[in-house]
Structures are given as structure tokens and as C-alpha cells.
Amino acid sequence: MELTEALPSDGLTCAVGAGGKKTTLYALANALDRAVVTATVRIPIFDPHVARVAVTDDPASAIERNDEWPLGVVPEREFEDRYRGYDREVVADLARETDAPLFVKADGARMREFKAPDEREPQLPRNASTVLPIASVHAVGKPLDDGVVHRPERVAAVAGIETGEEITPETVAAVLASPEGGIKGVPEDATAIPLLNKVDTDEDEPVAREIAHEIHERADVEHVVLARMAESEVIDVI
């Protein structure tokens, strides 16, 4: 299945979670003739992943004038290695002002494989059309600690286990399917599509399938995507 058949290719799409948010956003944007990448939180410098980045307080005008795609828009280069994101109200307004698909990084994970949001996350615009809760299957089998998990204590609280315990498929599913985890703050009219990333080997696939089935037991989602986003490849849709 093509990437844009399994995942959204229009509207305002937000990626949350850990283990492939940015990779997913870049892959989706580059799969389309015309798309925009932005953020409501800090985002590492991503110029190599788009045609160009416009640093601007007027992203709608930057999009209207642009002829190189995909385009990145951000308000400020905050540090040497990262941009600041827009307030979510700005992105909500932007979605109404342009017909270009918007792909938005809406929380942070410090390069970990798995996470649960804190009280300030995620930063979802109110008119998001799709939210992608993401986790890496490589977290399974690892101990629930900060070596692989961003905010292990939050994951433990949401999943009902203790920090230091082994992460199981049920742990990942419990967090992705929870209104305090992967589907936290998803707007009423938005569609949540959990994405299990880094299904890189034959051994990873049954783990991902088990997580997907557990998600369906716990949450009313249309489908779960199994993917290898570093290769822009969809493994299956369950």
C-alpha cells in the first residue's frame, strides 16, 4: 500500500508520541506534490528534509508565494540546533488560510522510542483533522526507563505498571490507546491513526501486529498502521 493511502494526504495532520514523528512528517510531505511541514513545539533543524524552510511570522504568505515543495515554515531559529514552533492558534488559523496539506510536530520525545504526554502536551490545534500517535516497536522488550522512554513515570502511570518493568506489547497499546496517552486531546472531529514504526525485521512484525490488535481492543480507531518510515514504507494496515 502506498504511504498516502494508509496515512493522510490533506488537511491538518499532527504527529505525537515517539519513535518516528519527524521521519513520518517528512516522508508524508515528500510524498505529495505540495505540502508544508511545521510545528507547535520546538523542532530540530530540518532543512535537509524539505525543499526549503521559511522563517516567518506570516506563514500563510510564505506558502502562497512558494514554488519549492515541500516547504517548512517556522517563526524563529531559537537555538543553533532547533527552531521554535508556532503557537497552536497560529497553526489553526494557517490551516484555514491555505489549502496546502499541513504536517505538524505537536510534542517532543528527545529521540526516545516511546513516551506518554505530560500535562502541557500535546499542543494540538483545535481544527486538526488527523492525529498520528506514534511508537517504535523497538521499545518492546526493553526496561521502562529513560534509556528508551521519554517520561517513563508517565508511561508507567498510564499503563498501570512500574518503572523498570519490561515493556510489553500491552504496555505500548495501553499508552497509545489511552485518553491520557496517544489520543489525549484529539479534537472531536479528528481521526486518530496509531502508527507503529520501525517494523524493520521479520521479528518486529508479529510484535507490531500484537500491539495493533491490543489497540483495537482498547480504543475505537479505524485502523492501525505498521510502517518502516525511514524507508517511507507501509508494512500493513490493521
What are the tens digits of pLDDT across the range 168-214?
999 999 999 999 999 999 999 999 999 999 999 999 999 999 999 99
Query: Residue 84's pLDDT is what?
Result: 98
Query: Residue 34's pLDDT is what?
Result: 97
Which helix (H) or strand (E) covers residue 235, if one does?
A: strand 233-237
- Phi then psi for residue 127, to 5 deg, are -105, 25
Which helix (H) or strand (E) covers residue 196, if one does?
A: strand 195-197
Q: What is the number of structural domains in the chain?
A: 1
36-39 and 102-105 strand pairing: parallel
Residue 48: Cβ-neighbour burial (10 angstroms; 0-12, 13-18, 19+): exposed
CB 78 within 8 A of CB 42: yes
Lookup: cell for 129: 483533522
**First-residue to last-residue Cα distance in the chain:** 12
In the three-class reduction of DSSP (H, G, I as helix; E, B as strand; rest coil), residue 143 is classed as strand
Report the CATH number that the domain containing residue 127 is assigned in CATH: 3.40.50
What is the pTM (predicted TM-score) of this model?
A: 0.97
Torsion, Cα of 123, 126, 129, 132 (10° steps): 20
Domain that holds residue 105: 3-31+101-237
Query: Residue 94's pLDDT is what?
Result: 98
Please check whether residue 40 lies inside any domain of the structure: no
Q: How does the average pLDDT of the chain come out, rounded?
A: 97
Whether residue 165 has pLDDT greater than 90: yes
Please check whether residue 96 lies inside any domain of the structure: no
Query: Residue 86's pLDDT is what?
Result: 98
- Nearest Cα to 131, choosing from 208, 172, 183, 95? 183
Average pLDDT of span 70-79: 96
What are the tens digits of pLDDT across the range 9-40?
999 999 999 999 999 999 999 999 999 999 99
Please check whether residue 67 lies inside any domain of the structure: no
Query: Residue 219's pLDDT is what?
Result: 97
Q: With DSSP H G I counted as helix, E B as strand and the rest as coil, what are the percentages for the chain, rounded to 5?
A: 30, 25, 45
Please check whether residue 89 lies inside any domain of the structure: no
CB 159 within 8 A of CB 174: yes
Average pLDDT of span 50-64: 98
Tell me what percent of the residues of the chain surpass a pLDDT of 70. Answer: 100
What are the tens digits of pLDDT across the range 98-115?
999 999 999 999 999 999
What are the tens digits of pLDDT across the range 207-236?
999 999 999 999 999 999 999 999 999 999
Please check whether residue 146 lies inside any domain of the structure: yes
Query: Residue 48's pLDDT is what?
Result: 98
What are the tens digits of pLDDT across the range 136-150?
999 999 999 999 999
Banded pLDDT at 1 (limits 50, 70, 90): confident
> Within 10 Å of residue 233's Cβ, how many Cβ atoms?
15
In the three-class reduction of DSSP (H, G, I as helix; E, B as strand; rest coil), residue 74 is classed as strand
Whether residue 75 has pLDDT greater than 90: yes
List the beta bridge partners of residue 103. Answer: 13, 37
